[in-house]
Chains A and B, each alone.
Chain A
Amino acid sequence: MAGTFKFELVSPERVLFSGDASEVIVPGTDGQFTVLPGHAPFVSSLRPGVLMIKIPSGSRRVYIRGGIAEVEPEGLTILAQHLIDLEAGGVNAEIDAEIKAAEAIIASTKVEDERMAAAETVAQLRSVANR
């Protein structure tokens, strides 16, 4: 473990997280990837999913829908279109709405990849909701 890197999670309305993280797991469009300190510069778009932030003192989970992740030598910046802080209280209604939306995708899409991705989202959200 090579220390920490700078991580910022920004939505159009606010900056949700800004500080040092030791590891961030990001749901990229082409698959999940993990950013560790010293990651090569890299830009990826995101698919809906749960973002896992590991900071030295613990971990945090945030649901994000849409956006992009930018890895630079200095750190990682995520611009999220829509986000739900899963550690905050009173977000169950929002989570349910996202589960419904994802289930609608499962029911309607013909593309296998999209269905798989949406199914994963539902599973992740369910596990959070039943906490």
Chain B
Amino acid sequence: MPSLKDMRNRIASVKATRKITKAMQMVAAAKLRRAQEAATAARPYAERMDRVLVNLARRANPSEASPLLVGNGKDDVHLLIVMTAERGLCGGFNSNIARLARVDTLRLLRAGKTVKILCVGRKGADNLRRDLGRNIMDRVDLRSVRQLGFGNAEAIGTRVLAMFEAGEFDVATIYFSEFKNVITQKPTAQQIIPARIPDIEGSAGKANGDGVVEYEPSEEDVLGYLLKRNISTQIFRGLLENAASEQGARMTAMDNATRNAGDMINKLTVKYNRLRQANITKELIEIISGAEAL
């Protein structure tokens, strides 16, 4: 049986926690707006790039196209780029991404493939380190980054490209959380090498009939350049989506936490009042029966 003082302390501590979660929720809401704006601003670039890429890729000769487009003919070593947040307290956000990556890793390992993991963000590395520590080759820390810039994505992209050219892996996939809306974030895996060209037979770009568009310096050069750029662009998109998702997840998680703290305070207060009342009654009974005994 806790004493009255214990209960008062307990209530005070839950109240303090509620203040913190409430503040975190509001900070996340403000950050979410910024992150969403950044994600929206980056969309046109990725879309245009996709369009040009689709046009070019459809015309490319598969037998001599860049390995970035058709792969290097092997499927033995997989690189998983797992992008998570740098901070916790955002519900299932980090563990959802890590789970998806873990499931895929185990599947690939069972199939006899080699898996290398590149972690972007501390939380994913922490989560995967326990059972897949041997597969993690490195981690990229973005903790000091305040506002994600294309430079951050480019640094990762350049590195991935260098590794690909050195033959360190055959297939690369990025893992991130797609931002659907504030309450829904969908962990997503997207293959970036060899590039997945969206609906190659689709209607996109039909307006540009074959042979009409001219390329300078040459078709191959432009395509090669675009494929390289596409890696960084995809990573950048993943990072931005992730940033928005993280704040959305945190907002929801903190909203729940605030509400739970409120419920807990109500329950504790009722309990505290009952206990206090019981104590008073007990003391009264003691006094009265003491007086009667005289």
Which residues on A are within 8 Å of B, measured CB to CB? 8, 10-15, 28-30, 40-45, 68, 70, 72-73, 77, 79, 81-82
B217 sits at the interface (CB 8 A):
yes
B38 sits at the interface (CB 8 A):
yes
Query: Which residue in A10, A11, A40 is a CB contact (below 8 Å) of B214?
Result: A40
B292 sits at the interface (CB 8 A):
no
Tell whether, in the assembled complex, residue A28 and residue B216 are in contact, meaning their CB atoms are under 8 Å apart. yes
Tell whether, in the assembled complex, residue B149 and residue A13 are in contact, meaning their CB atoms are under 8 Å apart. yes
How long is the Cα–Cα vector from A15 to B213 in the complex, in angstroms?
Answer: 24
Which residues on B are within 8 Å of A, measured CB to CB? 38, 41-42, 44-46, 48-49, 52, 56, 149-150, 153, 207-208, 212-217, 221-222, 225-226, 229, 232-233, 236
Tell whether, in the assembled complex, residue B214 and residue A15 are in contact, meaning their CB atoms are under 8 Å apart. no
B170 CB to nearest chain A CB (Å): 27
Question: Which residues of A lie under 8 Å from residue B149 when comparing CB positions?
Answer: 13
Question: Which residues of B lie under 8 Å from residue A10 when comparing CB positions?
Answer: 44-45, 48
Tell whether, in the assembled complex, residue B229 and residue A43 are in contact, meaning their CB atoms are under 8 Å apart. no
A22 CB to nearest chain B CB (Å): 22
Question: Which residues of A lie under 8 Å from residue B225 when comparing CB positions?
Answer: 45, 68
Tell whether, in the assembled complex, residue B213 and residue A42 are in contact, meaning their CB atoms are under 8 Å apart. yes
How long is the Cα–Cα vector from A14 to B43 in the complex, in angstroms?
Answer: 8
Tell whether, in the assembled complex, residue B222 and residue A68 are in contact, meaning their CB atoms are under 8 Å apart. yes
A106 CB to nearest chain B CB (Å): 21
Tell whether, in the assembled complex, residue B41 and residue A68 are in contact, meaning their CB atoms are under 8 Å apart. no
Question: Which residues of B lie under 8 Å from residue A79 when comparing CB positions?
Answer: 45, 48-49, 52
Question: Which residues of A lie under 8 Å from residue B229 when comparing CB positions?
Answer: 81
Question: Which residues of B lie under 8 Å from residue A81 when comparing CB positions?
Answer: 150, 229
Chain B residue with Cβ nearest A28? B216
Query: Which residue in B48, B207, B215, B233 is a CB contact (below 8 Å) of A77?
Result: B48
Question: Which residues of A lie under 8 Å from residue B44 when comparing CB positions?
Answer: 8, 10, 15
Question: Which residues of A lie under 8 Å from residue B216 when comparing CB positions?
Answer: 28-30, 42-45
B221 CB to nearest chain A CB (Å): 6
Tell whether, in the assembled complex, residue A13 and residue B213 are in contact, meaning their CB atoms are under 8 Å apart. no
Tell whether, in the assembled complex, residue A70 and residue B150 are in contact, meaning their CB atoms are under 8 Å apart. no
Query: Which residue in A12, A14, A41, A45 is a CB contact (below 8 Å) of B222?
Result: A45
B78 CB to nearest chain A CB (Å): 26
How long is the Cα–Cα vector from A70 to B56 in the complex, in angstroms?
Answer: 12
How long is the Cα–Cα vector from A29 to B218 in the complex, in angstroms?
Answer: 10
